[in-house]
Amino acid sequence: MTNEIASDMGLPNDTRGILVIGILKNSFAEKAGIRAGTTRAVFEGTVGMLGGDIIIGVEDSAVNNVEELKDYISHYHILGTQLKLRVLRNRDPIEITIVY
């Protein structure tokens, strides 16, 4: 999440998290109801999708990028357990539980 993307989505420039630009079919994310972007945009020459959920936290920890989320999952959870994500959806914070 960059300042430019946050601004284009009507969020404060300092918003940090992981913008969901796509969801794989039959993935844990799809089954949990995480939403991908639907509006095509180009940033710094890269095409992406805006308007999706923004993952801002996992359990009680903030996440700023995909690597932090992967690290948290790989160190603290095992297959078959529940994981609570804090997400911004349409600028509103919600909680989503994933079972993976």
Per-run averaged pLDDT (10 residues), the chain, 100 residues: 81 90 90 90 78 91 91 80 92 90
How much is the pLDDT for 86?
Answer: 96
What's the CA gap between 2 and 43, in Å, rounded?
10
**Domain 3-99 superfamily per CATH:** PDZ domain (2.30.42.10)
How much is the pLDDT for 48?
Answer: 76
What's the CA gap between 77 and 50, in Å, rounded?
29
Bridge-partner residues for 9, per DSSP? Answer: none
How much is the pLDDT for 51?
Answer: 84
Q: b/e per residue, 43-55, with b = 16+ CB within 10 A?
A: eeeeebeebbbbb
Q: pTM value?
A: 0.86
Annotated domain spans of the chain = 3-99
